[in-house]
Structure 1
């Protein structure tokens, strides 16, 4: 006999989207390109038109002097023989213009050293040849769990006859200005790109996981961290902080340039008698300035080495590439940014040495005022429990550990929290929210991505992402990288130890009488006869657990219809909420074709059913 209730099993919970890139804004490159070729016309992008709004909203707003002087020109109106790519893509193709987006440009310049990764961002087969040109180009970026394909027309902002923003040292080359325009479209405007960190662009170029390490904080394991990251073919960059625009491009006494992002490309440990020297190899993507201190190309210290080793380490004389001692590296630079590449980004490359790769998992969630935006633990103790919670199981230690005597085996875990689409909100006066993760204590930061690196014993853990302020709303993506495949899932309002599927339960017998509802509601609501989300949850548990077992999503979807602007629910709204719940479960019961008390549906089907009621 079937159970008297009904269980709704949700399948296909949202995570990373596999497969090809999703057309951004529904614009499909091949269709638009074919249509333009057929009609003999050049593409005009209706989603990112050549208007002042595309430039910005404040310093580049429509009524600023710069915006008033801008003209939009196609490449053939700027030079006689434009080319998409001229003699390959290289770091010299990236020359910053009148926009504070050096973080984006530095990442693009560094990516030219990794052609395979760059080809994903800049799809081949584009250009200005008569058989292929239609005024339309496309680029691909990783955005919050999926790749998106962004289409742009080739009208570029020009001021006083020159490109306003990025340009190539080779005047007829346009892949980089068009890439910058596509990224500006993705973020809402060119000005939205002002200010950022190189890792943000690295993540969007690769789908990797970015973390930033302070070089001013003592860390005895830093050199090993750099070596391990290079073995995994991660992208590494270091920069010197600038205090203002006047410091940018200033050269230090030791030959380094402030504000430039240097690529970290190698390490080598020298044994010199009774001491070891740890070296780090760097490259300035702009290739103009090199370190002139100890272990630089002209340093006399190289004379201490065997000639063959000296030749091996110094035979590359490319402009901008040099060695530094680790102690000097930490003294001169302020931060090291590491972008660990996902398994998908590394697919097809030669296998690394043991322990080199990552396994990953991607989860999605959101903070919603009144439901899951609980805020900082220390200042919102009454609501912190409302924040989304994720169960993570680390079953096996890292490959290099776990055998023989020594410290207890541990698992390396990288957890990254990314808030979605906040740059686009700058036009409305919003910016990044301060966000954090709680596994171990981590600081809050006004960054798009916050990453925690930790070494934990094998076991089961709880991850709680939160904003600093309660009621702040945003969607987010939570990603986990581990050497061994982690198990992760969101904990809604259920305990997962019993291995039951995500479910919602109803016992379809008559409602308790209205007096019982009202008496309990007024008892818990207080003098104002209104309840917030926490009190509503308590009432539902006290009255309705005999009938309904609700997860957070259903609670949010249903009660969101009846709450007021203060996120409160009065008694009439409470009754309406219960009536809708009864209707939802009645529809679920009708879908129980096998009369076994279980209905399976996708997330989209479930949301559609809720909307019907």
Structure 2
């Protein structure tokens, strides 16, 4: 029986055809047309009441407030609050915004960035509305959603509690654009409650339709300085976050910063200070108050040594939430910084700037056809493929010339219980030999010259940038598992040789706070942040859980090189296994009483067999009171495995020299386990294994993590200390074995006899 036509089209991966909403002709959210609603209500002398987002507790959400307060919420129109209500008074300013009771600092920090750049502001707030023109209680705002501009219509009833704004409040009593914009964004997300905690990276994209990249300030890229300078020059939106999580809330710290809070980066400059210069960043708090009180804050003594005219321009001493901070303090006190613009011009370090070409593809993963997952190399290459040609663009060595952004369908968040589906993509350089033309629809793994893989990310969108030499490339989007269906949007930005003639960096004038030239220089490479308390580090499993790799998903590794945390990559050789625990790591664990321990447990021949080793480990390490190692003893089989890995003479026992090597590794494992298991649970999970591998300098990947968890963890996917030791020592050993047996660092050839000996002894 032949396959039905509909199924056959799906199986052939028919590309989704769709119309993209533009700023001029946006898609009507929930089918509501602003002009027709206003005309109808105005002609009938009625005020619009939005049935799709009613003045009801459901529009607020059941978890934002206690039930008694929720029932006390009143909905009032701006003209009921202020007789002379206005949408805008002298334009939109960052100082119009004061955050209310809703925990949506991530939204308001993005809105704050929006007010600094007219090109973004005009797209979001249409100019065809005001309280003094055909007022009918209806307003509208535009947001970018999955490749389309969407027009969201609202009525102007705002939630009030005991006479105070529940949502964002205007600093000026009669200016209401902040509250109405926030309401439209809440409607887009389903309720105000859904704005309570979120991701500034997503808000920046929603307000601009741009491409954004987020940098972990614990591991900043070497060229972050150049990126920030380029971002300032090109009028990008910038936001940043302090360490924290949902559980800890938003307490104000002694230094004036708020924990787990989103801020707007409003400017950057360099000032002459003492006998040199100081790089400064200006930041704004969406609370509208509460500022950094350290170096370069409003009343700090550092300003006394700055030239008077510069001090007058920069040091505006108001408790308005905006403050200056040195770059060094910024790196030490903030976790992430996000940069967003229409194109990734912030990766162009040249002058003049080059134009970027954008390629946009709407497609889908189809079960039984293109939803092939990524378990094996063959599966990965059965996913949709997109071919691009990178020319010899000028200045490639001075910046990134390709940026790829993959976004999954926004419907997936509700489909997967407020979480996102795991997605990723491979960026593959393919050989031109044997290729008929760029119209070839599908490439195979054997045509790949080099591959960079993003790994799986539980995130709405993944963005990576590359320094790609000229050639033909294939972008392969994939899902975490085979058979997962979804639409996706793929955007590819290519740097060209053409000069960008339409660059617009117009800043919105800000009353009482002049904008200092944004082309001033930042110097990040000389600033080294001090180590932070592990407990205060921004918890990715709380706020940034959507951007974390899923360590339980296997994938073949041999040909993949993974991108860095910052999302920046360069093509080189494939993932190298020529690594082992650095000598510097092990050096500090020398001569720590190992001889006395060895003598106490060895036999008369001064050797340790597996039985003696088991007794030693359980009596010395497991009973160590400095950390929790009591969740499980070393079994005899585990000790046999450790002994075989440390037995240099292949005689089934350890002498003092061999035990010294083992003792160093045991001490190292103890310190690492203690540093990861801060709560003294006695266990580490997959993320702890990854951190341990990073601390030891060993290569690791999702597939290897997955195998380690399957092999050593319990049913809850957690490892006790004994399992952890076996796992780390084996990881180092197999890495070293590969290095010794491989001739080219890419693979190993073994005879059947050699294979059997290695496997049976491991």
User: Which residue of structure 2 lines up, in the alignment, with residue 479 of structure 1?
Assistant: 491
Q: What is the alpha-carbon distance in structure 1 between the residues aligned to residue 491 and residue 105 of structure 2?
A: 26
CA contact (8 A) 1:120 1:140 kept: yes
Quickly say closer, same or farther: Cα 1:454–1:160, change in 2 above 3 A: same
One of 165, 169, 190 as aligned partner of 2:192: 190
SS in 1 for 2:30: helix
Q: What are the equivalent positions in structure 2 for 1:30-179 lying under 5 Å apart?
A: 30-56=35-61, 59=63, 67-129=70-132, 131-179=133-181
Q: CA RMSD in A?
A: 3.7
Paired residue secondary structure (2:496): coil
For residues 201-232 of structure 1, give each alpha carbon's deviation from its aligned partner in whole angstroms, at most 9, with x where no partner exists.
11111111111110001422111111112122
CA separation of 1:217/1:166 partners in 2, compared to 1, >3 Å: closer, same or farther? Answer: same
SS at match of 1:203: helix
Aligned match of 1:366: 364
- Per-residue displacement from partner, 1:503-549 (whole Å, max 9, x unpaired)? xxxxxxxxxxxxxxxxxxxxxxxxxxxxxxxxxxxxxxxxxxxxxxx
Partner of 1:524: none
Deviations 1:268-325 (A, max 9, x none): 45788998754434344555344343444555556766x4785587465565544433
CA contact (8 A) 1:236 1:263 kept: yes
**2:692 counterpart residue number:** none
Answer yes or no: is the 8 Å Cα contact 1:60–1:66 preserved in 2.
Answer: no
Q: Could you tell me how far 1:354 is from its partner in structure 2? A: 0.8
Cα separation, partners in 2 of 1:179 and 1:295, compared to 1, 3 Å = closer
Aligned to 2:690: none
Superposition deviation, residue 108 in structure 1: 1.1
Find the counterpart in structure 1 of residue 388 from structure 2.
Answer: 392
Counterpart residue number, 1:180:
182
> In structure 2, do the counterparts of structure 1 residues 244 and 270 end up closer, same or farther at CA, with 3 Å as the change threshold?
same
Gaps of 5+ in 2: 1-11, 428-451, 499-762
Question: In structure 1, how many angstroms separate the alpha carbons of the residues matched to 2:96 and 2:485?
Answer: 39
Q: CA deviation at 1:198?
A: 1.3
Partner of 1:254: helix, strand, or coil?
A: coil
In structure 1, C-alpha distance between the alignment counterparts of 2:141 and 2:309, rounded to whole Å: 43
Q: Take 1:27 and 1:435, find their aligned partners in 2: how far apart are those partners?
A: 33
Against the structure 1 CA distance between its residues 282 and 72, is the aligned structure 2 distance closer, same or farther, given a 3 Å change threshold?
A: closer
In 1, Cα distance between equivalents of 2:94 and 2:54: 29
Q: Which segment drifts farther, 212-221 or 169-178? A: 169-178
Contact 1:252 1:258 in 2 (8 A): yes
In structure 2, the CA distance between the partners of 1:277 and 1:458, relative to structure 1 (3 Å rule), is: farther
C-alpha distance in 1 between matches for 2:286 and 2:87: 21
TM-score w.r.t. length of structure 2: 0.54
Structure 1: how far apart are the matches of 2:492 and 2:67?
A: 44
Distance in 1 between residues matched to 2:108 and 2:412, nearest whole Å: 17
The equivalent residue for 1:288 is 289
> 1:256 — aligned with what?
257
Where does residue 436 of structure 1 map in the other structure? Answer: 424
1:23/1:123 Cα in 2 relative to 1: closer, same or farther (>3 Å)? same
Q: Using the TM superposition, give the Cα deviation of residue 67 of structure 1 relative to its aligned residue in structure 2, in angstroms.
A: 4.7
Q: CA deviation at 1:353?
A: 4.9
Q: Residue 123 of structure 1: SS of its match in structure 2?
A: coil
* Number of corresponding residues: 457
- The TM-score normalised by the length of structure 1 is 0.65
Post-superposition offset of 1:139: 0.6
Q: 1:312 to 1:481 in 2, by over 3 A?
A: farther
Choose the corresponding residue for 2:237, options 228, 235, 238.
235
Higher strand share: 1
Q: Is the 8 A contact 1:207 1:342 kept in 2?
A: no
C-alpha deviation, 1:358, in angstroms: 3.6
Shift of the 133–334 alpha-carbon distance from structure 1 to 2, 3 Å rule, reads same
Aligned CA distance change for structure 1 residues 451 and 359 (closer, same or farther; 3 Å): same
